[in-house]
A and B are shown apart, each in its own frame.
Chain A
């Protein structure tokens, strides 16, 4: 049992991010905010997301775990306008989530949270760190999209490089160390990632100006970002492609 009111923009941002990985998600709703963890079906990518209590306009009730169909929430968001407040009301007994926006009230069935994979978040501590501007990242991704299915991220003393190579063409985005607002690297690190995951993740982050990338050698990538201003935060993990011989 709970009732939550939340700004349409905040919910939309969170839902966009979640929907890059999963179609159904388990949310923990409490007075401290909303928490989500998700792992994509192939276990290549994970998400940990938190909306703080300040992201909620109202919370009453008790801490509850519910499973929701992301697409259904999106459908409601499509009916709303910027500035709208969305109300989510959950009645445990009826297993139903009631979502109201403006004059519309939608009753939706919920998903049994027991059926949703609970990701075991691995303890990933990549050695290299770089803080990169979102628009530069997006530009790099656009540059890679026609070249390859993969992108190689390199971090060394000279800066951050995003490299993509196809059969005949290749493209590099290089951001010199001086242009990064933060860089921490001892030995050069390099890993290759599937571009579609990387691109969907980056594109889903809409309100951060910068993200923190944590990188290692043939090691998972960690992307830390903020959402809804400072009222939420999240991080993606993405497994690298590994070259075998």
Chain B
């Protein structure tokens, strides 16, 4: 009998060459340390390189991005363009940085995530664009010619289609892109989901599923001093004590890091505080020094103090931090980088972290499995998919041979429930959220305004192409669509009649990316506004739109804002309960709180005071500021059409909100590195504007700013050609209304400048 060749006689299918990766791309991958492919990669790459669509469902950190990049590179080489859709802004930068590694092949990579869009001529030159689905939707609405060359689109975290807020936009964007470019290669990356085949069918994609993880993951439940793992092994933890310090200490002692998930921001800070002495006691002198450096970086992220930075600065020297939405983006990035570089041993986070950036740790500890749900007004279980995503962060490639995800059970019943309920549960099914009225209102208008659908039949055809249409009957949508259409006609966004066509106001609304209700309200506010309208009235108007979610009213605040309402009522441009478009009185008061917060911000009240007064974090303030300045931009555009004479004051207000500054600072804050704090110092030192600063002596400017280097830089900016000497590295961070831009990307041999205090004792 002739022996059949064994599998081991075939060339390894995980080599880069066998998978068909072009040699120059393979060379770059090898430089980055990619020698062999993981099994899901080896399965997905050959069809990708043939131009096939692929739906790839596997755990985080199993190398999905690489597969996606190859599709984009393939398209770019074929003279087409590639689009990478990211679910979060924070991820956009990460992907763009990674893709820039391929710039050596002559590819141009761009990023579109912020408030402003890339101009067409810049976009035209790009081969690959990284964007949020909202940004891509915006390109579709404006009919960008760049999309005519689109050859591949990547949808990262495509399971987020099930997210009620942002899912519909992702779904509609994918549908529209595929309609616009028949034969478009789609690469959909997903967490493990229950109905992968259904999603793959919808996208005409090959379905590849895998449970592969580069670092094996063990799941367990902690109860009474021991972890019971799902593989039925047990582990006792010494010495005795509270669960969290025990679980944290043991993993750090073994050389790993701990990532703890809790369900509220407050808990994340309290738990970090409580664990700090435990963690600190485990640090070596070198590690203490590194941790101290992080503390300084946090303070340097902004030249204006924040509560979050202050608290972090106390914790970071002890090797631990918290991570939640009350932090500003630069603060969060600093914490993430420190954890990634292992300068932090433990991090206590809210679940938002799990959905976002890739930040693995050897041991993930899930303390809470319920959280407060606004919609329900009560504690509710955290969805299984989210718990799994948290647990999936366990195990760092290169550092850990195995990751441990541990849920803490308080009772034997809980222990059993966790083992059955979360750790061995089937994955969740992804369903479309397109049928929601707000989503349909927005997307119906956009489809009509951009000319994609012109009548009922085309509308039906469009929805047949969505994931909704793929899984459910169109007839179920018809009723809601009819109501939405009536609404849009009634408010003069669509023209009445059998044909579907948009008014100029409708087209504007769609291109400004406003919720139609917001646009109607803003237009109303403009029509009612008197000349010389006060900033507060305009802020209250944008705060009353659905595009600016209301804030919570704390105990007692209802009274505060009720009296503010009574005081301002005659000047308010929008009132509560306006034919169903604005909120009832109670929620309306909450929108006044937002307006009051923004008012304090533009009066240059320090961030620390604002966040205390309103009971929010600097990150929340930042989010409101961004939303409000975007809405004010929309308001200013609408003013051009409906109340031209109000354009100027609205533009000024938009800038004030952007910078958090009074009107007299608006000239100075245009300077790079000058925000509201430094700007005000310049005014107080006798330099009210750029003109006055141009001729200023360096030392006086330096004194006002507390930084000779920044002073030099600014004078050089104002006087091109005048010599000002060399720029000093280690300059203060540029200031832009409280936040500095992201730190430069990683590079080998980065230099840092420690302070003198870090050197104690002999070398």
Instruction: Give the CA-CA distance A145 to B723 in the complex, in Å.
Output: 14
Q: Does B730 lie within 8 Å of A42, measured CB to CB?
A: yes
Instruction: Give the CA-CA distance A149 to B727 in the complex, in Å.
Output: 8
Q: Does B750 lie within 8 Å of A244, measured CB to CB?
A: yes
Q: Does A125 lie within 8 Å of B762, measured CB to CB?
A: yes
Q: Annotate A232-245 by CB proximity to B: 1 below 8 A, 0 otherwise.
A: 00000111111111
Instruction: Give the CA-CA distance A48 to B278 in the complex, in Å.
Output: 38
Q: Annotate A208-245 by CB proximity to B: 1 below 8 A, 0 otherwise.
A: 00000000111110000000000000000111111111
A122 interface neighbour in B729, B748, B752, B757, Cβ under 8 Å:
B757
Chain B residues, CB < 8 A from A244: 749-752
A237 interface neighbour in B699, B756, B763, Cβ under 8 Å:
B756
Whether, in the assembled complex, B479 has its beta carbon less than 8 Å from a beta carbon of chain A, the answer is no
Chain A residues, CB < 8 A from B729: 149, 194
Q: Does A44 lie within 8 Å of B756, measured CB to CB?
A: yes
Q: Does A196 lie within 8 Å of B726, measured CB to CB?
A: yes
Q: Does A122 lie within 8 Å of B751, measured CB to CB?
A: no
Q: Does B756 lie within 8 Å of A124, measured CB to CB?
A: yes
B697 to chain A minimum Cβ distance, whole angstroms, is: 11
A158 to chain B minimum Cβ distance, whole angstroms, is: 21
Whether, in the assembled complex, B116 has its beta carbon less than 8 Å from a beta carbon of chain A, the answer is no
Q: Annotate B724-751 by CB proximity to A: 1 below 8 A, 0 otherwise.
A: 0011111010000000000000001111
Whether, in the assembled complex, B753 has its beta carbon less than 8 Å from a beta carbon of chain A, the answer is yes
Whether, in the assembled complex, A143 has its beta carbon less than 8 Å from a beta carbon of chain B, the answer is no
B665 to chain A minimum Cβ distance, whole angstroms, is: 23
Instruction: Give the CA-CA distance A192 to B751 in the complex, in Å.
Output: 10
Q: Does B755 lie within 8 Å of A43, measured CB to CB?
A: yes
B730 interface neighbour in A23, A44, A71, A216, Cβ under 8 Å:
A44
Instruction: Give the CA-CA distance A39 to B757 in the complex, in Å.
Output: 10
B756 interface neighbour in A194, A216, A239, Cβ under 8 Å:
A239
Q: Does A242 lie within 8 Å of B752, measured CB to CB?
A: yes
Whether, in the assembled complex, A123 has its beta carbon less than 8 Å from a beta carbon of chain B, the answer is yes
Chain A residues, CB < 8 A from B760: 122-123
Q: Does A194 lie within 8 Å of B730, measured CB to CB?
A: yes
A229 to chain B minimum Cβ distance, whole angstroms, is: 29
Chain B residues, CB < 8 A from A122: 756-757, 759-760
Q: Does A194 lie within 8 Å of B763, measured CB to CB?
A: no
Q: Does A239 lie within 8 Å of B748, measured CB to CB?
A: no
Instruction: Give the CA-CA distance A44 to B702 in the complex, in Å.
Output: 17
Residue of B nearest to A127 (CB): B763
Instruction: Give the CA-CA distance A23 to B753 in the complex, in Å.
Output: 22
Whether, in the assembled complex, B754 has its beta carbon less than 8 Å from a beta carbon of chain A, the answer is yes
Known: A194-B753, A242-B752. Contact between A219 and B728, CB under 8 A?
no
Q: How many residues of A contact B (CB 8 A)?
A: 35
Q: Does A149 lie within 8 Å of B726, measured CB to CB?
A: yes
Q: Does A123 lie within 8 Å of B761, measured CB to CB?
A: yes
Whether, in the assembled complex, B22 has its beta carbon less than 8 Å from a beta carbon of chain A, the answer is no
Whether, in the assembled complex, A45 has its beta carbon less than 8 Å from a beta carbon of chain B, the answer is yes
Instruction: Give the CA-CA distance A42 to B732 in the complex, in Å.
Output: 8
Instruction: Give the CA-CA distance A43 to B760 in the complex, in Å.
Output: 14
Q: How many residues of B contact A (CB 8 A)?
A: 27
B50 to chain A minimum Cβ distance, whole angstroms, is: 40
Q: Does B748 lie within 8 Å of A245, measured CB to CB?
A: yes
Q: Does B759 lie within 8 Å of A44, measured CB to CB?
A: no
Whether, in the assembled complex, A78 has its beta carbon less than 8 Å from a beta carbon of chain B, the answer is no
Chain A residues, CB < 8 A from B757: 43, 120, 122
Q: Annotate A81-114 by CB proximity to B: 1 below 8 A, 0 otherwise.
A: 0000000000000000000000000000000000
Chain B residues, CB < 8 A from A127: 762-763
Whether, in the assembled complex, B664 has its beta carbon less than 8 Å from a beta carbon of chain A, the answer is no
Whether, in the assembled complex, B30 has its beta carbon less than 8 Å from a beta carbon of chain A, the answer is no
Instruction: Give the CA-CA distance A127 to B762 in the complex, in Å.
Output: 8
Residue of B nearest to A24 (CB): B703
Known: A149-B728, A194-B730, A244-B749. Contact between A239 and B763, CB under 8 A?
no
Whether, in the assembled complex, A176 has its beta carbon less than 8 Å from a beta carbon of chain B, the answer is no
Known: A245-B748, A245-B749. Contact between A39 and B703, CB under 8 A?
no
Q: Annotate B700-723 by CB proximity to A: 1 below 8 A, 0 otherwise.
A: 001100110000000000000000
B763 interface neighbour in A41, A120, A126, A192, Cβ under 8 Å:
A126
Chain B residues, CB < 8 A from A44: 730, 753, 755-756
Q: Does B759 lie within 8 Å of A243, measured CB to CB?
A: no
Residue of A nearest to B700 (CB): A71
A164 to chain B minimum Cβ distance, whole angstroms, is: 12
Q: Does B749 lie within 8 Å of A242, measured CB to CB?
A: no
Known: A122-B760, A126-B763. Contact between A241 and B753, CB under 8 A?
yes
Chain A residues, CB < 8 A from B94: none
Q: Does B758 lie within 8 Å of A239, measured CB to CB?
A: yes
Chain B residues, CB < 8 A from A245: 748-749
Whether, in the assembled complex, A46 has its beta carbon less than 8 Å from a beta carbon of chain B, the answer is yes
Residue of B nearest to A70 (CB): B703
Instruction: Give the CA-CA distance A243 to B702 in the complex, in Å.
Output: 29
Residue of B nearest to A240 (CB): B754
Chain B residues, CB < 8 A from A220: 756, 759
Instruction: For chain A, residues 22 to 73, give those with C-beta under 8 angstroms from any C-beta of chain B.
Output: 23, 39, 41-46, 71
Q: Does B763 lie within 8 Å of A216, measured CB to CB?
A: yes
Chain B residues, CB < 8 A from A123: 760-761
Q: Does B749 lie within 8 Å of A219, measured CB to CB?
A: no
Chain A residues, CB < 8 A from B728: 149, 194, 196
Chain B residues, CB < 8 A from A45: 756
Instruction: Give the CA-CA distance A42 to B296 in the complex, in Å.
Output: 10
Q: Annotate A141-179 by CB proximity to B: 1 below 8 A, 0 otherwise.
A: 000010001000000000000000000000000000000
Given A45-B756, A125-B762, A242-B753, output 20 extra A-B contacts at Cβ < 8 Å. Answer: A23-B703, A41-B707, A42-B753, A43-B756, A44-B753, A122-B757, A122-B760, A124-B756, A127-B762, A145-B726, A192-B751, A194-B753, A196-B726, A216-B763, A220-B759, A238-B756, A239-B753, A241-B752, A243-B751, A245-B748
Q: Which residues of B contact A (CB under 8 A)?
A: 699, 702-703, 706-707, 726-730, 732, 748-763
Q: Which residues of A contact B (CB under 8 A)?
A: 23, 39, 41-46, 71, 120, 122-127, 145, 149, 192, 194, 196, 216-220, 237-245
19 pairs of residues in contact across A and B, judged by CB atoms under 8 Å: A23-B703, A41-B706, A42-B755, A44-B753, A71-B699, A122-B756, A124-B759, A125-B763, A149-B726, A149-B728, A194-B728, A194-B753, A219-B763, A239-B759, A241-B751, A242-B753, A242-B754, A244-B749, A244-B752
